[in-house]
Amino acid sequence: MTSELRALEENSTWTLESLPNGKKPIGCKWVFKTKIQADGTVKRYKAQQVAKAYTQVEGIDYHETFAPVAKMTTVRCVLVVAATKIGSFTKWTSTMPSGIANLMKKFT
60-74 per-position pLDDT tens digit: 555 555 555 666 677
> Is residue 6 very low, low, confident or very high in pLDDT (cuts 50, 70, 90)?
confident
Rounded CA separation 78/84 (Å): 10
Separation of CA 86 from chain center:
21
79 in Cβ contact with 61 (< 8 Å): no
* Global model pTM greater than 0.85: no
Largest CA distance in the chain: 54
In degrees and rounded to multiples of 5, residue 12 shows phi and psi of 55, 40
7 in Cβ contact with 15 (< 8 Å): no
52 in Cβ contact with 26 (< 8 Å): yes
7-33 per-position pLDDT tens digit: 777 888 777 778 888 877 777 888 888
> Is residue 104 very low, low, confident or very high in pLDDT (cuts 50, 70, 90)?
low
Q: What are the angstrom distances between the C-alpha of 60 and each of 26, 67, 83, 106?
A: 14, 16, 37, 41
The confidence score (pLDDT) of residue 10 equals: 83
Share of the chain above pLDDT 70, in %: 57
The confidence score (pLDDT) of residue 107 equals: 64
75-85 per-position pLDDT tens digit: 677 777 777 77
